[in-house]
């Protein structure tokens, strides 16, 4: 039984491999040589859920495999949830995206510096065209300066008060245990173990 993880991000593949270890599913990802050539999915949805489902349906339909895809980003409520679904595209590099966010937050103080990472995982089964969603969300504070070398994206300015560190100061295990993506993938793996295995082995 094969499950396609619609990503080229090795971190995401490793994480889902760990979470589904006991389920007896073979994980393949987009770089797998057994897959046909599949053009890249267009991520032009207006919500994380829409983009995750678009990716899962695109790669699931073209590969014929049950497929899981994720879309995630940062939301800052005091900036009308900017950058949201555009998190990856508001500037060209992680450093520029962080600098842009810090610039927009310059005049913003205290409780208004709350931010949250949101992750939506979508599962699509091409054999019966059904889908499922799994959501993860983690709240923190946007710092005034970056801190830490780990992680990626907005991690250096995302302070997680419970651990008194930014996400870029956590090990990948620590981050996975609390992050939006860890939560949504754990919910997916739990669902797959309970109900999904029967569905995808039909
Ligand atoms: P993707 O859905 O993993 O492609 O994430 C979209 C963008 O959201 C990334 O390029 C990052 O800018 C931001 N993002 C998503 N998840 C994280 C995270 O865990 N840490 C930092 N930035 C993130």
Residues forming the active site: 71
Instruction: Give the whole-angstrom CA distance, residue 64 versus residue 41.
Output: 15
Structurally, the chain folds into a number of domains equal to: 1
Distance CA 153, CA 68 (A): 22
> Band of the pLDDT at 198, cuts 50, 70, 90?
low
Cα–chain-centroid distance for residue 164?
23
- Asked if residue 196 has its Cβ within 6 Å of ligand 1, the reply is no
Over residues 1-58, the pLDDT tens digits come to 799 999 988 877 887 888 888 888 889 999 899 999 999 999 999 999 999 999 999 9
Please compute the mean of the pLDDT values over residues 163-175 and round it to a whole number: 95
**Whether residue 15 has its Cβ less than 6 Å from ligand 1:** no
Is the model's pLDDT at 202 over the cut of 60? no
| Average pLDDT of the residues in 157-165 | 98
Q: What is the CATH number of the domain that holds 170?
A: 3.90.950.10
Q: What is the pTM of this model?
A: 0.93
CB of 6 within 6 A of ligand 1: the answer is no
Instruction: Compute the distance from residue 110 Cα to the ligand 1 centre, in Å.
Output: 24
Quick: pLDDT tens for 145-159: 999 999 899 999 999
Asked if 159 contacts 142 with a C-beta cutoff of 8 angstroms, the reply is: yes
Tell me what pLDDT residue 24 has: 82
Distance from the alpha carbon of residue 88 to the mean position of ligand 1, in angstroms: 6
d(CA 23, CA 192): 8
Q: What is the mean pLDDT of residues 122-126?
A: 97
Query: Closest ligand 1 atom, CA of 181?
Result: 19
The alpha carbon of 153 and the centre of ligand 1 are apart by a number of angstroms equal to: 6
Question: What's the domain range around 99?
Answer: 2-200
- Looking at residues 188-197, what average pLDDT do you find? 85
Q: Is the per-residue pLDDT at 130 higher than 90?
A: yes
Share of the chain above pLDDT 70, in %: 97
Ligand 1, atom nearest to 151 Cα? 20
Question: What is the pLDDT of the chain when averaged over all its residues?
Answer: 93
Nearest to 180 by CA among 15, 7, 1: 15
């Amino acid at each position: 039984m094969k499950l396609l993880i619609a990503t080229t991000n090795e971190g995401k593949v490793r994480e889902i491999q760990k979470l589904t270890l006991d389920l007896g599913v073979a994980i393949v990802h987009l770089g797998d040589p057994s897959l046909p050539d599949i053009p890249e999915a267009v991520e032009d949805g207006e919500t994380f859920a829409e983009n995750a489902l678009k990716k899962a349906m695109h790669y699931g339909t073209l590969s014929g495999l049950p497929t899981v895809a994720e879309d995630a980003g940062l939301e800052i409520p005091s900036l009308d949830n900017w950058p949201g679904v555009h998190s990856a595209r508001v500037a060209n590099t992680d450093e520029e995206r962080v600098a842009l966010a810090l610039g927009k937050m310059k005049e913003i103080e205290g409780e208004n510096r709350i931010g949250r990472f949101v992750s939506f995982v979508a599962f699509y089964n091409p054999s019966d065209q059904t889908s499922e969603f799994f959501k993860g969300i983690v709240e923190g504070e946007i710092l005034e300066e970056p801190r830490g070398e780990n992680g990626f994206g907005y991690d250096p300015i995302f302070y997680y008060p419970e651990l008194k560190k930014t996400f870029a100061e956590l090990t990948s295990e620590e981050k996975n245990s609390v992050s939006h993506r860890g939560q949504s993938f754990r919910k997916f793996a739990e669902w797959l173990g309970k109900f999904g295995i029967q569905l995808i082995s039909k």
